[in-house]
Amino acid sequence: MKRLLPGLALALVFLPPMARAADELFDFEVLQFRAKTLAMQPYQEPKQRVPDWLLKLNYDQFRDIRFDPMRAWWRAEQLPFHLQFFHPGGLFSKPVQIHEVIGRKERKIDFSPRLFDYGHNKLSGRIPSDMGFAGFRLHAALNRPDYYDELAVFLGASYFRALGKGMHYGLSARGLALDTAEPGGEEFPAFEQFWIERPVAGAKSVTVYALLNSPSVAGAYRFIITPGVETVMQVKAAVYCRKNPKVFGIAPLTSMFAHGENTGWSSNDFRPEVHDSDGLLMETGAGEWIWRPLVNPREVRLSSFSDPSPRGFGLMQRDREFGHYDDLEAYYHQRPSAWVEPVGGWGPGVVRLVELPSPTETNDNVVAFWVPAQLPPAGEPIAFEYRLHWLMDPAGRPPAGHVSSTRQASVLGQPGLRRFVVEFDGRYLNQEPSDPEIKAVVSVGGGARLAAESLVQKNNFSGAWRAVFEVQPDNSGRPVEMRCYLKKGQHVLTETWSYLWNP
């Protein structure tokens, strides 16, 4: 084998990673090495490549710019997935570079105005060819074989979302949540580059790679997306910290809750309920299922559910009755739930739920994510993997009875007393006739006490079982943690209802 001249060898060593990229085959390990190399360097803000006149477009002007679907990647080849792009401008000021991967060879996809219909907008300046795109979306024959529906979107910071059959967009996911709801403010890492594997004919899934970057972290991500009645993303990541954040949130889910059955009908809204998700569901390592109904709080609320190694958690939209929303445009009854299923043991940590006050439904005000109990020293990889399910039917989550509704009210003639009505449903409970042996196990934490023994009734109109109990606060103003589940003898029949009440 010939030896390189000393000067040439030295030049190759000091070539930046991206300069050598054209000569190497692309895969997750290559991307992980790039993320590690990036994390060893001081963070640099991406160069501003979007012309100022594009950033000044208002909401309606920006919405008038549309990708031409006839120019979708892989459309002409009649492949099972199509790729479309979003135009930078308006709120999307930091474009991303997108690459196509064919046979493990990467090729940058250049921006071109010819890909877009600008509507009534007039191009008032030159658009740089290296500007990149705001993001992208994938299409597939999701609902019928002759039409390519929108399947998944990656747009803005590290946000992404997906659909299964018959769904409408609702909650989102993110690559990472850093210092969420911390006093010093949240850091929003961004996917700065994407690589999308060109699918083969007959492919059942499509693979996306992403490079994450922010002042604190750099990371490599891989998403294997399989559409269906339940669309599943297999997510694999390796993150390197320049400095360890206070809160390192894995598999974050972001949603909206304005009002629902547990908070009472809004006097300013004709719709009974308005939310993308109505509760947090968690399966602990010990096999306990916990349901925490969401609220729109008066002030920021943080809840943590510790576990040595969780089996899963998610933000769920359980209520599928149109009449409970009565919204002909938003389709809240068809918005997906998202369930995080860890692959491999995640070790000890907490599922953290953040609920923020919001006056409107346009703000995402709910975040849930996993926080490891301990991080390795900065510079060492934090590797994790999980399956992210976008679904309508909970599919046996939980396998036993589940909470179907939560309501509360004052008690006539007894100021300060609060009545809670929790209904549990499920195949076994639905078929079970009235049975005095079915009991409610209710516990109330500090700040209040049970005012009387709980009552359990069979709801013969719906088949559900209703637990009714009253709580007396101690006037300390402390939030009150409550739990309730049904059992018969030694057999637990339902998940655990978990609620945080602010008297």
Per-residue pLDDT at 23: 64
Inside any domain, residue 181: no
Q: Are 275 and 416 in the same domain?
A: no
List strand residue ranges (DSSP E) for 103-230, in order.
105-108, 116-117, 135-144, 147-155, 159-162, 172-174, 177-178, 190-197, 206-213, 217-226
Q: Are 39 and 124 in the same domain?
A: yes
DSSP state of 30: H
Per-residue pLDDT at 265: 76
Q: Are 96 and 206 in the same domain?
A: yes
Q: Are 70 and 202 in the same domain?
A: yes
CATH number of the domain enclosing 388 = 2.70.98.10
The answer to whether 292 and 313 have CB atoms below 8 angstroms apart is: no
Portion of the chain with pLDDT greater than 90, in percent: 82
Q: Are 346 and 446 in the same domain?
A: no
* Among 398, 418, 448, residue at a domain's last position: 398
Pick the closest to residue 306 from 286, 328, 335, 327 (CA basis).
286
Q: Are 49 and 83 in the same domain?
A: yes
Distance CA 19, CA 254 (A): 37
Inside any domain, residue 144: no
Token pair 């479309």: residue: 84
Distance CA 455, CA 445 (A): 19
Residues with Cβ within 8 Å of residue 402, at least 6 apart in sequence? 289, 291, 318, 394, 424, 425, 426, 494, 495
pLDDT tens for the chain, 503 residues long, are 333 333 333 333 334 444 444 568 999 999 999 999 999 999 999 888 888 889 888 989 999 999 999 999 999 999 999 999 999 998 898 999 999 999 999 999 999 999 999 999 887 677 877 889 999 999 999 999 999 999 999 999 999 999 999 999 999 999 999 999 999 999 999 999 999 999 999 999 999 999 999 999 999 999 999 999 999 999 999 999 999 999 999 999 999 999 999 988 777 899 999 999 999 999 999 999 999 999 999 999 999 999 999 999 999 999 999 999 999 999 999 999 999 999 999 999 999 999 999 999 999 999 999 999 999 988 899 999 999 999 999 888 999 999 999 999 999 888 889 999 999 999 999 999 999 999 999 999 988 999 988 999 999 999 999 999 999 999 888 999 999 999 999 999 999 999 999 88
Q: Are 313 and 413 in the same domain?
A: no
* Among 198, 224, 240, residue at a domain's last position: 240
Distance linking the first and last C-alpha atoms of the chain: 79
DSSP state of 204: S
Token pair 């700065």: residue: 192
Q: Are 198 and 299 in the same domain?
A: no
Q: Are 134 and 6 in the same domain?
A: yes
Inside any domain, residue 259: yes
Residues with Cβ within 8 Å of residue 96, at least 6 apart in sequence? 132, 133, 134, 135, 190, 191, 192, 193, 194
Inside any domain, residue 278: yes
What type of residue sits at position 222?
R
Q: Are 393 and 249 in the same domain?
A: yes
Tens digits of residue pLDDT in 167-182? 999 999 999 999 999 9
pTM exceeds 0.85, yes or no: yes
DSSP state of 503: -
CATH number of the domain enclosing 494 = 2.60.40.10
Per-residue pLDDT at 494: 98
Inside any domain, residue 145: no
Q: How many domains does the chain have?
A: 3
Number of C-alpha atoms within 13 angstroms, CB side, residue 310? 28
Inside any domain, residue 124: yes
* Among 398, 431, 446, residue at a domain's last position: 398
Inside any domain, residue 183: no
Q: Which domain holds residue 253?
A: 164-176+245-398
Q: Are 206 and 250 in the same domain?
A: no
Q: Are 125 and 231 in the same domain?
A: yes
